[in-house]
Amino acid sequence: IGARIGALAQSVGLLKAEVDEQDRRQAALLAQLEGALGARAAPTPADGAASAKPMAAGLRDLDALPSSCRSDEQMQSKTYPRIPCAPLSPSDAHAAVERERAARPYTAAPLSAGTATGSEIRFLEQEAARNQRAAVRQGLGPLSSASCAAMLSDDEHLFHAMWGAVAMRKAPPACLPNHTAATALWVRDMLAGRMCARNWQEGNSGCAGQLVQPPSATPGAAIIGVHDAVARYCNKRIGCAGVHRVPLAVACSLANLRASTLAGAEPQPSMCRTLEWLACAARGLLPGQAGSDLLIVSAPRDVDLRQLAANAPGFLYTPRDAYALQLCLLAQMCTNRAALFAANRTRAFNCDFDGAWLRRAIFSLRRVDASAADGLAVG
């Protein structure tokens, strides 16, 4: 066990060093970009009143971007959609809602400091073996509404292990509520849209990650896909096609697209937060979202289930695994799920939302029958 703990600690150390280097590069680029921003806004009123008008405007034209990040078409037009970039203070009402939400019993505790315990490592090893068996059992066909339903209903599948409290790490500890009453409360809050007003870029550098979501000058579509594909698409929209040098959260903000890019400690990114984002985006309830269309930039039919099988034995999951699970969760909450898997190119998908399907899917992940929570008196 000691050797396994040491090996895991070494792997975590290497991963942290890589992440730190990426953060350093992104910070340098952000400094370059922010140096080109227009004048900062005067401070808004302390209560963050909705009538306060932000005065900063983000990138005013393409001269502010590095020359290697501009397409010929944009070089000729020299125009770019403006975005507000003035920090806002939360109103008393908004702050009260956030405090109340944070106190909800389903809030997952953060992972404690230190390496995984011996019992956690043993569990993860057993979970990896279960995930591998399930991958073989489910086969390697194309992703579809039928294969999604089969994988989500299989308790041993990788999809059931991807709910760790820390992003990209399998459980334990889990982000999912740990008892039926809390699960029922979580589902009700999701269906009521209680989480939708959150800043889904919180924790990122620059104005995109400030505590309070800045109001958008123009409503924009929600975007989903494999992480790298979303980053490339947003970079292309701001004139950085082929360069991919602007961090995803910043690039999508500048492109006026709504992405889930949480990077802070509270709320901590996880599949639970991703599910909340999907439930909001599928109904057009994200801050500044234009309609309920989801811009899908990674074709669902191109998802390779062989990749899920290859990743099943590990302690972590990948962005491609996360995207496959996102699609399958969408397939559970949208009655027009067949249309989700029909196209093979970038397109918009409009979800016919069905809360009952979502509710059953969540309780199946908790291995609890949804009917068991029907009579629970939870607020």
Which amino acid appears at position 32 of this protein?
Answer: Q
Domain tally, the chain? 1
300 lies in a domain? yes
Q: H helices then E strands: how many in the chain?
A: 13, 3
Neighbours of 107 (CB within 10 A): 17
206 lies in a domain? yes
Smallest CA-to-CA distance from 89 within 43, 28, 145 is with 43
247 lies in a domain? yes
31 lies in a domain? no
Smallest CA-to-CA distance from 193 within 93, 277, 91, 274 is with 277
Enter the DSSP assignment of 117: P
113 lies in a domain? no
CB 148 within 8 A of CB 305: no
Q: Please tell me the pTM assigned to this model.
A: 0.70
CB 33 within 8 A of CB 250: yes
Q: How far apart are CA 237 and CA 200, in angstroms?
A: 20
106 lies in a domain? no
CB 88 within 8 A of CB 214: yes
Reading the block at residue 290, the tokens are 């234009």
176 lies in a domain? yes
Reading the block at residue 221, the tokens are 């579509």
Q: How far apart are CA 377 and CA 180, in angstroms?
A: 11
Range of the domain at 280: 119-372
336 lies in a domain? yes
Per-residue pLDDT of the chain (379 residues; tens, 9 = 90+): 656 656 655 655 555 565 566 555 555 544 444 444 333 333 333 333 322 222 223 333 344 455 545 444 443 343 333 344 444 444 555 555 555 554 444 443 333 334 456 676 777 777 777 777 777 776 667 788 888 888 888 888 888 888 887 777 777 777 888 777 888 888 899 999 988 888 888 777 666 666 555 555 578 899 999 888 898 888 888 877 765 567 788 788 888 899 998 887 777 888 999 999 999 999 999 988 888 889 999 888 888 777 776 766 667 788 888 999 999 999 989 999 888 888 666 788 999 999 888 888 887 776 544 444 444 433 3
